[in-house]
Structure 1
């Protein structure tokens, strides 16, 4: 099915500096869609996977790093071309405003980490961002950060988005993925030109009770300290069984003085819609090559020469003009590149924003990192690459942007 890209060599052609953004074009393209967590119990189980055991999976997650090396002789010149008129979708809160320029780089609140359980059964993360949608519930990232390219399964397990995540802190909540959308050619043919995904997410949930203060009865049953904490809910035995089968980490049973069993699970607190909390970037497609972009992400790991460049703990940025490139051996005929020292681990899914306004921390999403490259052979990463955002991408976005998710709390 899908493959990620980390280019060992890249031949690129320079693009021309583009003019201003233009009016929207019509949607086009074939869309593939897959469910992530479609029921309340399943979605709550996903939340408990990350919040359970004192956030052990969140804290222990490692950057996702699936690579396919491409040697220079297998890379040819060329580049993408627009398939219709250029278009934009304004950012949340930016619908009636014009962009402004500033010399200072203020990091956007929309960025965060996408967490999921990989094919190896271990927790991993990529970079993602909140984007404009009707219900303020949409996340954009690389396709291989949603669809399992290792085991050829459908989607990653336990998929969530956490904006602003830092050392087990979830400042705006955790957002469980509901439905994933990508291009049919990526889902079926491993087409790198369509390696992007949009995911609808439920309202966020806040960090629940962590078990501190709980007691154990004579039979070893956990007695939740819900009287002082107030974040447990009582459920039926059947519901408790359903939660347990869904993989819920925290299903408790306790007996009252009459030896009647009571079943409890976490009671998550609703954190509200993603876009209402952190905003959402706009979207630009069919833009001319050569536009300057900011790349925001969480790069982690070393350069090929062993130099440890990034920790992956904090959001970083780079800046440059896009240029065209192709890589036919990995089915990448319509890629764009930008000079960037971001290493591949963690940076996968990084957002490329054109016309970024530092004052409002908003711009137009115009790319997502799907691979990195050392183009001059000095064993230092110097380039990031993305699919070209065209009308095909807008078709995938359009399939996802008007779907409601709701709350799981």
Structure 2
């Protein structure tokens, strides 16, 4: 895909990332800094926690690339290797909660200088510190120059309340073809976050431990055939084309549907896939697609990330969420993120 796009003479620009120096399979992985030192991370946390979380409450759904014109196709997806699974770590919070507490919102400052949010989810890793979301909910695709500012993750977000724990992003990982060539078939990012923090009585920050220890982490599925049932979890908020707006963006929503191959008509994307879902675009960007989801453990295998939604039958209501196909290249990006230790900022 990279060579094909280059041959078309498409003008592209680097986002200020550096190719990670790693063995063969990870050669297509790039990384970019978010808040790489404690001082910058503390400033990011303070920005969101100040005034009782005023910036969190005032943030709006990220409205970049919320809708795409697309068609469902009958052809299958092409895996680049054998199908595989990375196991989940069990959701550890109260069983009274009926939805996965691994899912939450990522907050950041956009190119417009305003606070916005997308959906994201915690993923299992050795250091219990990895978050998955759409690539363009981390990398700033509206301007050349790197990542979105003051990036933090709030798992289990609900109802606009000030979060119990906030996790600041340190490094972001994505695929070379998304970073350089804007191949939206690679629009996935994995982010390492520091230990969680809460405000202390002295006005500073108190360490609340690692993300995975607090909420668990979803597994990862790759090179899988289309699934008859996938559960999508996200915070949809925007209206349908006909003006109806069934979601508020304040509570975690769930939809279940089958997956299939797609063609995108107005985005360059190598092998995108779709899932039957009524979610609107704003707010649901970054929603997790969980394969073999269990309501008992509230875990499954991440097998897709919503990068946009589409009305494929022309009735002015969204019916499909769109994701890159999770193949061995996605596994390579995840594997690099899973190696990185982060630590505390308190």
TM class by smaller structure: 0.7 to 0.9
Per the TM alignment, residue 53 of structure 1 is displaced from its structure 2 partner at its CA by: 2.8
Per the TM alignment, residue 56 of structure 1 is displaced from its structure 2 partner at its CA by: 1.6
Per the TM alignment, residue 68 of structure 1 is displaced from its structure 2 partner at its CA by: 7.2
Alignment counterpart, residue 378 of structure 1, candidates 296, 311, 315: 315
Alpha-carbon separation, structure 2, partners of 1:350 and 1:403: 24
Q: Does the Cα contact within 8 Å between 1:180 and 1:198 map onto a contact in 2?
A: yes
The reply on whether 1:314 has 2:251 as its aligned counterpart is: yes
Alignment counterpart, residue 198 of structure 1, candidates 185, 190, 193: 190
Name 2:87's counterpart in structure 1: 90
Alpha-carbon separation, structure 2, partners of 1:71 and 1:136: 37
* Greater radius of gyration (CA): 1
Q: Does the Cα contact within 8 Å between 1:29 and 1:183 map onto a contact in 2?
A: no
Alpha-carbon separation, structure 2, partners of 1:299 and 1:69: 13
Alpha-carbon separation, structure 2, partners of 1:329 and 1:79: 21
Mark the CA change 1:367 to 1:305 in structure 2 (over 3 Å): closer, same or farther. same
Per the TM alignment, residue 309 of structure 1 is displaced from its structure 2 partner at its CA by: 1.1
Per the TM alignment, residue 283 of structure 1 is displaced from its structure 2 partner at its CA by: 0.3
Name 1:340's counterpart in structure 2: 277
Q: Does the Cα contact within 8 Å between 2:70 and 2:263 map onto a contact in 1?
A: no
The reply on whether 1:170 has 2:107 as its aligned counterpart is: no
> Within 5 A, what are the aligned runs for 1:259-338?
266-327=203-264, 329-338=266-275
Q: Does the Cα contact within 8 Å between 1:79 and 1:336 map onto a contact in 2?
A: no
Q: Does the Cα contact within 8 Å between 2:44 and 2:150 map onto a contact in 1?
A: yes
Name 2:141's counterpart in structure 1: 149
Q: Does the Cα contact within 8 Å between 1:302 and 1:308 map onto a contact in 2?
A: yes
| 1:127-171 deviation line (CA, Å, top 9, x unaligned) | 000001111000000000000011122101000000012323313
Name 1:388's counterpart in structure 2: 325
SS at match of 2:282: helix
Alpha-carbon separation, structure 1, partners of 2:179 and 2:69: 25
| 1:155-200 deviation line (CA, Å, top 9, x unaligned) | 01000000012323313x0000000000000001000110000000
Q: Does the Cα contact within 8 Å between 1:76 and 1:327 map onto a contact in 2?
A: no
Mark the CA change 1:391 to 1:201 in structure 2 (over 3 Å): closer, same or farther. same
| TM-score after normalising by structure 1 | 0.75
Alpha-carbon separation, structure 2, partners of 1:360 and 1:54: 32
Per the TM alignment, residue 39 of structure 1 is displaced from its structure 2 partner at its CA by: 0.8
Alpha-carbon separation, structure 2, partners of 1:279 and 1:268: 22
Per the TM alignment, residue 79 of structure 1 is displaced from its structure 2 partner at its CA by: 5.2
Q: Aligned-residue CA RMSD in angstroms?
A: 2.1
Mark the CA change 1:86 to 1:46 in structure 2 (over 3 Å): closer, same or farther. same
Alpha-carbon separation, structure 1, partners of 2:225 and 2:273: 11
Name 2:5's counterpart in structure 1: none
Alpha-carbon separation, structure 1, partners of 2:170 and 2:280: 30
Per the TM alignment, residue 29 of structure 1 is displaced from its structure 2 partner at its CA by: 5.5
Gapped regions of structure 1 (runs ≥ 5): 3-25, 95-104, 209-228, 232-265
> Within 5 A, what are the aligned runs for 1:2-13?
none
Name 2:99's counterpart in structure 1: 107
Q: Does the Cα contact within 8 Å between 2:66 and 2:308 map onto a contact in 1?
A: no
| Residue correspondences, number | 320
SS at match of 2:263: strand
Gapped regions of structure 2 (runs ≥ 5): 1-11, 14-23, 92-96
Per the TM alignment, residue 291 of structure 1 is displaced from its structure 2 partner at its CA by: 3.6
Alpha-carbon separation, structure 2, partners of 1:149 and 1:206: 31
Q: Does the Cα contact within 8 Å between 1:29 and 1:392 map onto a contact in 2?
A: no
